[in-house]
Amino acid sequence: MSVPAAIAPAPANPALPYLPLTRPTIDEETIAGVCEVLRSGWITSGPNVKALEGKLSEYFGGRPVRVFNSGTCTMEIALRIAGIGAGHEVITTPLSWVATSNVILEVGATPVFVDIDPVTRNLDLNLVEGAITPATRAIIPVDLAGLPVDRDRLYAIAKKHNLRVVEDAAQSMGTTWNGKRIGAFGDFVSVSFHPNKNITTIEGGCLVMNTEAEAKLAEQYRLQGVVRSGFDGMEVEVVGGKFNLTDVAARVGLGQLPRLQEFNDRRRELARAYFAAFAARDAKALGLGLPVEDLTQSNWHMFQVVLPSGLKRAEVMAALHAAGIGAGVHYPAIHLFAIYRRLGWNPGDFPIAEAVCRSILTLPLFPTMSGADVARVVEALVGIVKGRV
Protein backbone atom coordinates (compact mmCIF):
# COMPACT_ATOMS: atom_id res chain seq x y z
CA MET A 1 0.00 0.00 0.00
CA SER A 2 1.45 3.37 -0.94
CA VAL A 3 1.87 6.07 1.68
CA PRO A 4 0.24 9.46 0.97
CA ALA A 5 2.81 12.08 0.01
CA ALA A 6 1.52 14.44 2.69
CA ILE A 7 2.48 11.90 5.33
CA ALA A 8 5.62 10.52 3.72
CA PRO A 9 7.49 13.20 1.72
CA ALA A 10 10.34 12.26 -0.57
CA PRO A 11 13.74 11.84 1.13
CA ALA A 12 15.51 15.18 1.54
CA ASN A 13 18.87 13.77 0.45
CA PRO A 14 18.41 11.32 -2.41
CA ALA A 15 22.18 10.72 -2.49
CA LEU A 16 21.87 8.72 0.73
CA PRO A 17 20.37 5.23 0.41
CA TYR A 18 17.07 4.70 2.16
CA LEU A 19 17.63 2.99 5.49
CA PRO A 20 14.71 0.60 6.11
CA LEU A 21 13.40 -0.43 9.49
CA THR A 22 14.70 -3.94 8.98
CA ARG A 23 16.16 -6.20 6.31
CA PRO A 24 16.73 -9.98 6.43
CA THR A 25 20.20 -11.37 5.68
CA ILE A 26 20.01 -14.43 3.42
CA ASP A 27 23.29 -15.80 2.05
CA GLU A 28 23.94 -17.25 -1.38
CA GLU A 29 24.30 -20.79 -0.06
CA THR A 30 20.78 -20.62 1.33
CA ILE A 31 19.44 -19.18 -1.91
CA ALA A 32 21.11 -22.03 -3.83
CA GLY A 33 19.64 -24.50 -1.34
CA VAL A 34 16.15 -23.14 -1.98
CA CYS A 35 16.71 -23.64 -5.71
CA GLU A 36 17.63 -27.26 -5.02
CA VAL A 37 14.40 -27.74 -3.10
CA LEU A 38 12.40 -26.22 -5.94
CA ARG A 39 14.09 -28.50 -8.46
CA SER A 40 13.51 -31.55 -6.28
CA GLY A 41 9.76 -31.42 -6.77
CA TRP A 42 9.14 -31.81 -3.02
CA ILE A 43 8.27 -28.28 -2.00
CA THR A 44 5.63 -28.76 0.69
CA SER A 45 6.40 -30.26 4.13
CA GLY A 46 9.07 -32.91 3.76
CA PRO A 47 12.69 -33.74 4.60
CA ASN A 48 13.76 -30.13 5.17
CA VAL A 49 10.95 -29.62 7.68
CA LYS A 50 12.11 -32.73 9.56
CA ALA A 51 15.72 -31.54 9.43
CA LEU A 52 14.83 -28.07 10.73
CA GLU A 53 12.80 -29.53 13.58
CA GLY A 54 15.78 -31.71 14.52
CA LYS A 55 18.17 -28.76 14.51
CA LEU A 56 15.78 -26.64 16.56
CA SER A 57 15.32 -29.45 19.06
CA GLU A 58 19.11 -29.60 19.48
CA TYR A 59 19.19 -25.81 19.91
CA PHE A 60 16.51 -25.96 22.62
CA GLY A 61 18.27 -28.65 24.64
CA GLY A 62 16.55 -31.72 23.17
CA ARG A 63 12.98 -30.57 23.80
CA PRO A 64 10.27 -31.56 21.27
CA VAL A 65 9.89 -28.89 18.57
CA ARG A 66 7.49 -28.63 15.65
CA VAL A 67 7.54 -25.95 12.95
CA PHE A 68 4.49 -24.16 11.54
CA ASN A 69 3.61 -21.54 8.97
CA SER A 70 3.41 -18.73 11.53
CA GLY A 71 4.29 -17.78 15.06
CA THR A 72 0.61 -17.07 15.67
CA CYS A 73 -0.88 -20.52 15.17
CA THR A 74 1.81 -21.87 17.49
CA MET A 75 0.26 -19.99 20.42
CA GLU A 76 -3.24 -21.06 19.45
CA ILE A 77 -2.15 -24.70 19.25
CA ALA A 78 -0.39 -24.46 22.62
CA LEU A 79 -3.63 -23.22 24.18
CA ARG A 80 -5.58 -26.05 22.56
CA ILE A 81 -3.09 -28.66 23.75
CA ALA A 82 -3.45 -27.20 27.26
CA GLY A 83 -7.23 -27.67 27.04
CA ILE A 84 -8.00 -23.96 27.27
CA GLY A 85 -11.29 -22.80 25.80
CA ALA A 86 -14.72 -21.38 26.59
CA GLY A 87 -15.16 -20.21 30.17
CA HIS A 88 -11.42 -19.85 30.76
CA GLU A 89 -9.31 -16.72 31.18
CA VAL A 90 -5.75 -16.08 29.99
CA ILE A 91 -3.64 -13.23 31.36
CA THR A 92 -1.50 -11.27 28.92
CA THR A 93 -0.08 -7.82 28.12
CA PRO A 94 -1.80 -5.00 26.20
CA LEU A 95 1.56 -4.09 24.59
CA SER A 96 2.15 -6.68 21.88
CA TRP A 97 1.18 -7.56 18.35
CA VAL A 98 -2.57 -8.18 18.43
CA ALA A 99 -2.02 -11.86 17.58
CA THR A 100 -1.03 -12.47 21.20
CA SER A 101 -4.57 -11.86 22.41
CA ASN A 102 -6.40 -12.83 19.23
CA VAL A 103 -5.37 -16.46 19.75
CA ILE A 104 -7.08 -16.39 23.15
CA LEU A 105 -10.31 -15.32 21.46
CA GLU A 106 -9.77 -17.93 18.75
CA VAL A 107 -9.95 -20.79 21.26
CA GLY A 108 -13.04 -19.28 22.90
CA ALA A 109 -11.30 -18.04 26.06
CA THR A 110 -11.22 -14.52 27.49
CA PRO A 111 -8.08 -12.35 27.49
CA VAL A 112 -7.35 -10.57 30.76
CA PHE A 113 -4.92 -7.71 30.28
CA VAL A 114 -2.46 -6.54 32.93
CA ASP A 115 -0.53 -3.27 32.67
CA ILE A 116 3.17 -3.16 31.83
CA ASP A 117 6.26 -2.37 33.84
CA PRO A 118 7.30 1.21 32.90
CA VAL A 119 10.99 0.28 32.75
CA THR A 120 11.04 -3.05 30.90
CA ARG A 121 7.75 -2.45 29.03
CA ASN A 122 6.97 -6.12 29.62
CA LEU A 123 4.04 -7.56 31.57
CA ASP A 124 4.18 -6.22 35.14
CA LEU A 125 4.50 -9.40 37.19
CA ASN A 126 3.68 -7.43 40.35
CA LEU A 127 0.12 -7.08 39.01
CA VAL A 128 -0.45 -10.58 37.68
CA GLU A 129 -1.61 -12.30 40.86
CA GLY A 130 -4.24 -9.60 41.38
CA ALA A 131 -5.74 -10.52 38.00
CA ILE A 132 -6.02 -14.26 38.71
CA THR A 133 -9.55 -15.61 39.20
CA PRO A 134 -10.99 -19.14 39.48
CA ALA A 135 -11.37 -19.08 35.67
CA THR A 136 -7.70 -18.29 34.99
CA ARG A 137 -5.89 -21.12 33.22
CA ALA A 138 -2.77 -19.59 31.65
CA ILE A 139 -0.42 -16.64 31.25
CA ILE A 140 0.97 -15.44 27.92
CA PRO A 141 3.97 -13.16 28.60
CA VAL A 142 5.78 -11.34 25.78
CA ASP A 143 9.51 -10.62 25.57
CA LEU A 144 9.08 -7.19 23.99
CA ALA A 145 11.92 -6.36 21.56
CA GLY A 146 13.75 -9.47 22.83
CA LEU A 147 14.08 -8.32 26.45
CA PRO A 148 13.23 -11.36 28.61
CA VAL A 149 10.41 -11.38 31.12
CA ASP A 150 11.66 -12.51 34.56
CA ARG A 151 11.27 -16.26 34.13
CA ASP A 152 11.91 -17.05 37.80
CA ARG A 153 9.02 -14.90 39.03
CA LEU A 154 6.81 -15.88 36.11
CA TYR A 155 7.07 -19.60 36.79
CA ALA A 156 6.81 -19.13 40.54
CA ILE A 157 3.43 -17.46 39.99
CA ALA A 158 2.35 -20.14 37.51
CA LYS A 159 3.32 -22.94 39.86
CA LYS A 160 1.60 -21.33 42.85
CA HIS A 161 -1.69 -21.00 40.96
CA ASN A 162 -1.40 -24.14 38.80
CA LEU A 163 -1.36 -22.19 35.53
CA ARG A 164 0.05 -23.09 32.13
CA VAL A 165 2.47 -20.68 30.50
CA VAL A 166 2.57 -20.02 26.77
CA GLU A 167 5.67 -17.89 26.28
CA ASP A 168 5.21 -15.49 23.39
CA ALA A 169 8.89 -15.61 22.52
CA ALA A 170 8.20 -14.45 18.97
CA GLN A 171 10.82 -11.74 19.38
CA SER A 172 13.34 -13.49 21.62
CA MET A 173 15.12 -16.17 19.58
CA GLY A 174 18.60 -16.32 21.11
CA THR A 175 17.64 -14.40 24.25
CA THR A 176 18.74 -15.87 27.60
CA TRP A 177 17.56 -15.68 31.20
CA ASN A 178 20.25 -16.08 33.89
CA GLY A 179 22.45 -17.94 31.43
CA LYS A 180 19.68 -20.27 30.23
CA ARG A 181 18.49 -20.09 26.65
CA ILE A 182 14.86 -19.03 26.25
CA GLY A 183 13.06 -22.11 24.94
CA ALA A 184 15.41 -24.60 26.59
CA PHE A 185 13.28 -24.59 29.75
CA GLY A 186 9.78 -23.69 30.87
CA ASP A 187 6.38 -24.68 29.49
CA PHE A 188 5.19 -23.94 25.94
CA VAL A 189 7.49 -21.57 24.02
CA SER A 190 6.28 -19.99 20.77
CA VAL A 191 8.84 -18.45 18.38
CA SER A 192 8.29 -16.48 15.16
CA PHE A 193 10.42 -16.69 12.01
CA HIS A 194 8.73 -13.77 10.24
CA PRO A 195 11.10 -11.79 7.94
CA ASN A 196 11.48 -9.03 10.53
CA LYS A 197 12.71 -11.47 13.21
CA ASN A 198 16.33 -12.28 14.07
CA ILE A 199 16.19 -15.35 11.83
CA THR A 200 13.55 -16.11 9.24
CA THR A 201 11.86 -18.88 7.28
CA ILE A 202 10.17 -16.17 5.15
CA GLU A 203 6.96 -16.81 7.12
CA GLY A 204 6.81 -19.36 9.90
CA GLY A 205 7.43 -20.22 13.50
CA CYS A 206 7.98 -23.07 15.91
CA LEU A 207 6.49 -24.38 19.13
CA VAL A 208 8.71 -25.87 21.83
CA MET A 209 6.86 -28.39 23.99
CA ASN A 210 7.34 -30.62 27.02
CA THR A 211 6.53 -34.14 25.84
CA GLU A 212 6.33 -36.21 22.69
CA ALA A 213 2.61 -36.65 23.37
CA GLU A 214 2.16 -32.88 23.13
CA ALA A 215 4.22 -32.85 19.94
CA LYS A 216 2.06 -35.55 18.37
CA LEU A 217 -1.08 -33.60 19.23
CA ALA A 218 0.52 -30.46 17.76
CA GLU A 219 1.06 -32.37 14.51
CA GLN A 220 -2.64 -33.20 14.43
CA TYR A 221 -3.65 -29.59 14.99
CA ARG A 222 -1.12 -28.54 12.34
CA LEU A 223 -2.82 -30.48 9.52
CA GLN A 224 -6.58 -30.92 9.80
CA GLY A 225 -6.40 -33.27 12.80
CA VAL A 226 -5.26 -36.12 10.54
CA VAL A 227 -3.50 -39.23 11.88
CA ARG A 228 -2.12 -41.58 9.23
CA SER A 229 -1.32 -45.27 9.52
CA GLY A 230 0.08 -47.69 6.97
CA PHE A 231 -0.31 -46.94 3.27
CA ASP A 232 -3.95 -45.91 3.32
CA GLY A 233 -5.05 -45.55 6.94
CA MET A 234 -6.38 -42.16 7.99
CA GLU A 235 -8.27 -40.94 11.04
CA VAL A 236 -9.32 -37.49 12.24
CA GLU A 237 -9.55 -37.09 16.02
CA VAL A 238 -9.54 -33.30 16.55
CA VAL A 239 -10.44 -30.22 14.52
CA GLY A 240 -7.13 -29.05 13.07
CA GLY A 241 -6.09 -26.34 10.66
CA LYS A 242 -3.73 -25.89 7.72
CA PHE A 243 -0.63 -24.65 9.51
CA ASN A 244 2.23 -26.70 8.02
CA LEU A 245 5.54 -25.15 6.94
CA THR A 246 6.83 -25.79 3.42
CA ASP A 247 10.18 -27.38 2.63
CA VAL A 248 11.11 -24.20 0.75
CA ALA A 249 10.66 -22.16 3.92
CA ALA A 250 12.37 -24.80 6.05
CA ARG A 251 15.45 -24.70 3.80
CA VAL A 252 15.71 -20.97 4.47
CA GLY A 253 15.54 -21.71 8.19
CA LEU A 254 18.29 -24.32 7.93
CA GLY A 255 20.53 -21.64 6.44
CA GLN A 256 19.55 -19.05 9.04
CA LEU A 257 19.83 -21.03 12.29
CA PRO A 258 23.65 -21.51 12.18
CA ARG A 259 24.03 -17.73 11.82
CA LEU A 260 21.76 -16.78 14.73
CA GLN A 261 24.64 -16.13 17.14
CA GLU A 262 26.43 -14.01 14.54
CA PHE A 263 23.30 -12.00 13.84
CA ASN A 264 22.55 -11.45 17.53
CA ASP A 265 26.13 -10.48 18.33
CA ARG A 266 25.95 -7.84 15.63
CA ARG A 267 22.60 -6.59 16.92
CA ARG A 268 24.14 -6.15 20.37
CA GLU A 269 27.00 -4.16 18.85
CA LEU A 270 24.52 -1.91 17.09
CA ALA A 271 22.47 -1.49 20.29
CA ARG A 272 25.65 -0.49 22.10
CA ALA A 273 26.30 2.07 19.36
CA TYR A 274 22.78 3.44 19.74
CA PHE A 275 23.22 3.93 23.49
CA ALA A 276 26.58 5.67 22.97
CA ALA A 277 25.19 7.96 20.27
CA PHE A 278 22.13 8.91 22.32
CA ALA A 279 24.29 9.55 25.39
CA ALA A 280 26.62 11.80 23.38
CA ARG A 281 23.62 13.90 22.36
CA ASP A 282 22.10 13.94 25.85
CA ALA A 283 18.89 12.38 24.51
CA LYS A 284 17.41 11.83 27.96
CA ALA A 285 17.45 15.58 28.59
CA LEU A 286 15.16 15.90 25.57
CA GLY A 287 12.70 13.50 27.17
CA LEU A 288 13.51 10.53 24.94
CA GLY A 289 12.88 7.28 26.80
CA LEU A 290 15.50 4.66 26.00
CA PRO A 291 15.10 0.90 26.46
CA VAL A 292 16.73 -1.13 29.23
CA GLU A 293 20.45 -1.35 28.45
CA ASP A 294 20.64 -5.15 28.55
CA LEU A 295 23.60 -6.07 26.34
CA THR A 296 24.00 -9.65 27.54
CA GLN A 297 20.59 -11.34 27.76
CA SER A 298 18.48 -9.55 25.14
CA ASN A 299 18.82 -10.50 21.47
CA TRP A 300 18.00 -6.89 20.48
CA HIS A 301 15.25 -7.79 18.11
CA MET A 302 14.27 -4.12 18.12
CA PHE A 303 15.61 -0.81 19.43
CA GLN A 304 12.66 1.24 20.65
CA VAL A 305 12.49 4.73 22.10
CA VAL A 306 9.55 6.50 23.70
CA LEU A 307 9.06 10.01 22.36
CA PRO A 308 8.53 12.98 24.69
CA SER A 309 4.94 13.52 25.77
CA GLY A 310 2.98 15.74 23.42
CA LEU A 311 5.06 14.99 20.37
CA LYS A 312 3.07 13.66 17.41
CA ARG A 313 4.62 10.34 16.44
CA ALA A 314 3.31 10.43 12.88
CA GLU A 315 5.06 13.75 12.30
CA VAL A 316 8.32 12.36 13.64
CA MET A 317 8.03 9.30 11.42
CA ALA A 318 7.30 11.49 8.39
CA ALA A 319 10.34 13.64 9.13
CA LEU A 320 12.54 10.53 9.49
CA HIS A 321 11.19 9.25 6.17
CA ALA A 322 12.05 12.59 4.59
CA ALA A 323 15.59 12.05 5.86
CA GLY A 324 15.65 8.62 4.23
CA ILE A 325 15.11 6.61 7.42
CA GLY A 326 12.39 4.06 8.12
CA ALA A 327 10.68 3.67 11.49
CA GLY A 328 7.90 1.53 12.93
CA VAL A 329 5.24 1.30 15.64
CA HIS A 330 5.38 -1.81 17.84
CA TYR A 331 2.64 -1.68 19.02
CA PRO A 332 -0.69 0.10 19.45
CA ALA A 333 -2.45 -0.82 22.70
CA ILE A 334 -4.39 -4.02 22.02
CA HIS A 335 -7.28 -3.29 24.36
CA LEU A 336 -8.13 -0.09 22.49
CA PHE A 337 -8.81 -1.83 19.18
CA ALA A 338 -12.53 -1.89 18.36
CA ILE A 339 -12.91 -5.65 18.83
CA TYR A 340 -11.57 -5.39 22.39
CA ARG A 341 -13.49 -2.24 23.25
CA ARG A 342 -16.63 -4.19 22.34
CA LEU A 343 -15.56 -6.71 24.97
CA GLY A 344 -15.54 -3.99 27.62
CA TRP A 345 -12.04 -2.54 27.64
CA ASN A 346 -11.74 1.26 27.72
CA PRO A 347 -9.17 4.04 27.52
CA GLY A 348 -7.59 4.55 30.92
CA ASP A 349 -7.73 0.87 31.89
CA PHE A 350 -3.95 0.46 31.58
CA PRO A 351 -2.40 3.93 31.78
CA ILE A 352 1.25 2.90 31.58
CA ALA A 353 0.77 0.75 28.50
CA GLU A 354 -1.39 3.41 26.87
CA ALA A 355 1.20 6.13 27.44
CA VAL A 356 3.98 3.97 26.02
CA CYS A 357 1.89 2.76 23.07
CA ARG A 358 1.04 6.35 22.08
CA SER A 359 4.70 7.31 21.83
CA ILE A 360 6.82 4.20 21.25
CA LEU A 361 8.93 4.29 18.09
CA THR A 362 11.02 1.47 16.61
CA LEU A 363 14.29 2.51 14.96
CA PRO A 364 16.22 0.62 12.25
CA LEU A 365 18.18 -2.36 13.55
CA PHE A 366 19.46 -5.26 11.44
CA PRO A 367 22.82 -7.02 11.10
CA THR A 368 24.04 -5.36 7.89
CA MET A 369 23.66 -1.87 9.33
CA SER A 370 26.84 0.08 10.00
CA GLY A 371 27.89 2.30 12.86
CA ALA A 372 27.49 5.23 10.49
CA ASP A 373 23.87 4.19 9.92
CA VAL A 374 23.23 4.29 13.68
CA ALA A 375 24.82 7.73 13.96
CA ARG A 376 22.67 8.95 11.08
CA VAL A 377 19.47 7.71 12.74
CA VAL A 378 20.29 9.25 16.10
CA GLU A 379 21.39 12.57 14.60
CA ALA A 380 18.19 12.78 12.57
CA LEU A 381 15.88 11.80 15.43
CA VAL A 382 17.49 14.13 17.96
CA GLY A 383 17.32 17.00 15.46
CA ILE A 384 13.64 16.32 14.80
CA VAL A 385 12.81 16.14 18.50
CA LYS A 386 14.77 19.32 19.28
CA GLY A 387 12.77 21.13 16.63
CA ARG A 388 9.48 20.12 18.22
CA VAL A 389 9.95 20.26 22.00
Which candidate in 50, 197, 242, 284 is catalytic?
197
Q: Which H/E stretch holds residue 118? A: none
Distance CA 270, CA 6 (A): 32
Distance CA 275, CA 375 (A): 10
In 341-355, which positions are buried (b, 16+ CB within 10 angstroms) versus exposed (e)? eeeebeeebbebbbb
Task: Indicate left, alpha or beta for 186 from its phi (over 0: left) and psi (-120 to 50: alpha).
Answer: left
The beta strand positions in 169-216, using DSSP E, are 176-177, 180-181, 188-192, 205-208
Indicate if 242 belongs to the active site.
no
Q: What single letter denotes the amino acid at residue 50?
A: K
Task: Indicate left, alpha or beta for 344 from its phi (over 0: left) and psi (-120 to 50: alpha).
Answer: left
Name the phi and psi angles at 63, rounded to 5.
-70, 155
Where do runs of H (alpha helix) occur along the chain? Answer: 28-40, 47-59, 73-81, 99-106, 125-131, 151-160, 212-222, 247-256, 260-280, 313-322, 338-341, 351-359, 371-386
Distance CA 383, CA 371 (A): 18
What residues are labeled active site? 197
